[in-house]
Structure 1
Amino acid sequence: MSTDHMSTPTKIRVATTWLDGCSGCHMSFLDMDERLIALAERIEIVYSPLVDTKELPEQVDVGILEGSISSEDDLEKAKTFRKRCKLLVSLGDCAVNGNVPSMRNHFKLADVMDRAYRENVTLQPQIPTREVPALLGTVKPIHGVVPVDIFVPGCPPRADAIWHVLSELIEGRIPDPSQVTRFGA
């Protein structure tokens, strides 16, 4: 990364969000424990469920997406991240291959909705029509809708893998997550 006139490294701007998933990848991010302090000296988290920022900035160095594309809301977030982020990271098995959320792809969407909102409900069974993002016909991994630069598998990826990827990016290198990850672990 570039430096200013006083030789202080410029922080890379990082944005994260979760789409359809369990947020386990963000929990793994927090599992970096004391390494978060060292990371805070080198990155600026400009948008994330981990901070209070409400709007994704126009220019971000690294965008990290967790979860799959299951709704119109997820689709818009992924497109916005791709447009505004120089590098886009697909974090975790849901983002990389659809994982658990994509299990519904084997069923008709109407049947899934009936099962979730009518058959398994005892009080006021009804399909929501307000304030719930419209589901897409099929669930897709991130790269199924936007180009992805780095894939970090795992359910969730270990904190060490996330640390490796971020450390490499901080140093201006494109990481090879296959050295420290595998699907499902």
Structure 2
Amino acid sequence: MSDPKITVATAWLDGCSGCHMSFLDMDERLVDLAQKLDIVYSPLVDTKVLPEQVDVGILEGSISSEGDLHHAKEFRKHCKLLISLGDCAITGNVPAMRNPFKLEAVLNRAYVETVDVQPQIPTVGVPALFRQVRPIHGVVEVDVFIPGCPPHADAIFYVLNELIEGRTPDPSKVTRFGA
């Protein structure tokens, strides 16, 4: 009988989803990984509910809104191990470029000053933005950090493979910030 598969959940918060694209860039190695892990929740699959217990959670993006905070807390609650994937998750990166400015000024610039038709700041169905963007470890405990913008597929594969093999990954062997 084969070993049980590791369950994995992924989500992107405030970011560009480039880290998930790097995940897909593992190409044919995804077929090998599929033999050893189950993606139980992700924008890459159709599942809409985070399971009660997940072995590995992977979050990309920063904490910019109530919605991001909710996702991060849910992942921390339901995932045995939590990975921050990419520079936005680790430092705030591009989304945090708005931090030096007043939130009202940022919203006004994006939704009023640069819009020709129906300029208005959205309020219905949109999570409330925080005044400051934070990295994921600024709101929940994170176990593994994989830097890069986006991280290379090789780095993601290395970390997942180490976890599958029951080893503690050291992403610094295969990564550096901004690359």
Instruction: Work out whether the TM-score is over 0.5.
Output: yes
- Matched with 1:125 is 119
Query: Which of 4, 26, 29 is residue 10 of structure 1 equivalent to?
Result: 4
Cα distance in structure 2, aligned partners of 1:22 and 1:64: 15
Is the counterpart of residue 31 in structure 1 residue 25 in structure 2? yes
DSSP 3-state at the match of 1:58? coil
Output one character per residue of 1:41-75: Cα deviation in whole Å (capped at 9) or x when no partner. Answer: 00000000000000000100000000000000000
Give unpaired runs (5+ residues) of structure 2.
Answer: none
- Matched with 1:3 is none
Task: State TM-score, norm by structure 2.
Answer: 0.99
One-letter identity of the residue aligned with 1:13: T
After TM superposition, give the deviation of residue 103 of structure 1 in Å: 0.4
Instruction: Report the aligned-residue RMSD.
Output: 0.4
Write out the 4+ residue segments of structure 1 that deviate beyond 4 Å after TM superposition.
none
Percent sequence identity is 75
Task: State TM-score, norm by structure 1.
Answer: 0.96
- Matched with 2:14 is 20
Count of matched residue positions in the alignment of Structure 1 and Structure 2: 179
Cα distance in structure 2, aligned partners of 1:145 and 1:74: 10
- Matched with 1:86 is 80
After TM superposition, give the deviation of residue 137 of structure 1 in Å: 1.1
One-letter identity of the residue aligned with 2:43: P
- Matched with 2:156 is 162
Cα distance in structure 2, aligned partners of 1:175 and 1:163: 11
Give unpaired runs (5+ residues) of structure 1.
Answer: 1-5
Query: Which of 59, 71, 74 is residue 77 of structure 1 equivalent to?
Result: 71
